[in-house]
Amino acid sequence: MFGDKAKGSVSVCRESPKNRKDIEQQSRPSLHIEILSFILCITSPLSVIFYCIAYHHFDTSLYAAARAAYSEGFFYFFATRFPRPSLISVSCYAAWLALQAILYVCLPGEIALGPVTPAGRRLKYKLNGLTAWCLTVAIWAVGTKSGLVDPTIIARNWEGLIWTTTVFCVVAALISYAKACVLPGVETENLKTGLFWYDFFGGVELHPRIGELWDWKHFLSSRTGGIITWTVIDLSFAASQYQTYGYLTNTMVVVVFLRGWVVVDYFINEEWFFHTLDGMYEGFGFYNIYGFSGMMPVFWTLQTQYLAKHPKEMSPLALACIMAMYAIGWCVRFTADYQKLRFRQIGGKYSIWGKNAKGIRASYQTADGKVRESLLLSSGWWGLARHANYTGSSIYTWALCALCGYGGVFTCTEAIVLAFLQIHRCYRDEAKCAAKYGEHWDEYCRQVPWRMIPGVF
């Protein structure tokens, strides 16, 4: 929604360092937020494990799993069915981390500059994600075709992998927190509040790095636990369906293809991530680490998990309607993000839908004392809603869920979770923009009154 560029002087109000400090003190989290952070640190892994239990022990029925938990008691239910580690799951995940780290470092790629950070920095990122994805899929294909790798290895070891990733995420979050406390990075990008659970959950450092190009947030979100992981998980559960029933359903093929398209699209436009709420404002803590590496690989592949156990064919007409819905959602999301990026890149001189794009030039001051300018786009999709890209993502996610037919809440969880996250992100994003841009953001909200759905929300 906005792009940054340095500006020598602007004829608008500036935010003084004193005002910024006052804002930071006012935004110090309260005790109930600290308690909520603790609860989320506990319940987030438990929710993922509950879905794992429902998949393995209750044939993907959340209702049956919930009834068992109620009748047996919460602790007994989890204690008797809690995922167990295995040598193969730990070894496979370690090999996966090593492979993705090697690809992240060694593969060539264009060097891109991220947006201006609160400290006034522009960090460098190597864009080699698409090449890494292609090589990963090629290695998977060669390994399974040659018999060196069982194509169902992920599906067969799902419980052990969930245990392994959960432990990895907790350890990574603890190390990140300890490092930020003992060896803090840039002072003006340190988000520490002094409340342990809040800092542990939300993260202390904004952009933890090793050297000039290794960015931990980028690495985990796109490689080890994030985007690339979805593809190999989907392929493994598709192989599980084939080995179990002797065929692949058209719904399984379409789900794998459409989610693969999401992944490829992400890496073609990999630079866009750095301009999102996650890339710009979120600290590197349990929320970020477990969200990308622990929760999304499970919840964002529930469709293939379900279809591996419940093969379902659809008529060509039904598939065509669902794919059309997916295409509409994807086009809304893609064109919205593209409009925002192009408007920023060319300084506002941009035409959208046959008309000159409109926007607001909003100034703000970074910690290095420089006054900078952002462009708030209020034309195209961004003239209809302040988060039109979220709307598009929700539409195509519901389309993916629809490919499972009526599979209960299990198959719709991704869309439900995404909706809650996006609504929450709307308010968080807008609170940050209001603090950053002040009256300019108020004016933007007057011009674009709706958040996601014009006339509704």
Tokens standing for 98? Answer: 């090593």
Number of domains forming the structure of the chain: 2
Say whether both 91 and 144 belong to one domain: yes
Q: Report pLDDT digits (tens) over 121-159.
A: 999 999 999 999 999 999 999 999 999 999 999 999 999
- Quick one: 335 and 239 in the same domain? no
Are 267 and 325 part of one and the same domain? no
Among 313, 342, 358, identify where a domain stops.
313
140 and 202 inside one domain: yes
Query: Last residue of some domain: 289, 313, 337?
Result: 313
* Mean pLDDT, residues 196-214 taken together: 94
> Are 349 and 283 within one domain?
no
Establish if 196 belongs to a structural domain: yes
Last residue of a domain, one of 279, 313, 347: 313
pLDDT in tens, 369-385: 788 888 899 999 999 99
Distances (CA, A) of 107 to 94, 101, 311, 391: 20, 10, 38, 34
Domain presence at residue 25 = no
Tell me which residue range forms the domain holding 47.
Answer: 32-313
| Distance of alpha carbon 124 from alpha carbon 127, whole angstroms | 10
In a domain, 76, yes or no: yes
Counting other chains too, the contacts that 323-328 makes at CB distance below 8 Å and 24 or more residues apart are: 323/254, 323/258, 323/399, 325/395, 325/396, 325/398, 325/399, 325/402, 326/258, 326/395, 326/396, 326/399, 326/400, 327/396, 328/395, 328/396
> Is 198 a member of any domain?
yes
What residues contact residue 90 under an 8 Å CB cut-off, 6+ apart?
160, 164
pTM recorded for the entire structure: 0.89
Question: Do 277 and 427 contact (CB within 8 A), yes or no?
Answer: no
- CA–CA distance, 256 with 237 (Å, rounded to integer): 10
Taking residues 221-245, what's their average pLDDT?
93
Task: pLDDT band for 27, please (50, 70, 90 cuts).
Answer: low
Does 26 or 286 have the greater pLDDT score?
Answer: 286
Spatial separation of the C-alpha atoms in residues 257 and 396, rounded to whole Å: 13
**Closest residue by Cα to residue 55 from 184, 208, 159, 193:** 159
User: Is 146 part of any domain?
Assistant: yes
Percent of the chain at pLDDT exceeding 90: 73
Domain membership flag for residue 375? yes
CA proximity to 392, closest of 384, 299, 434, 257? 384
225 with 294: CB under 8 angstroms? yes
Q: Check whether residue 70 and residue 179 sit in a common domain.
A: yes
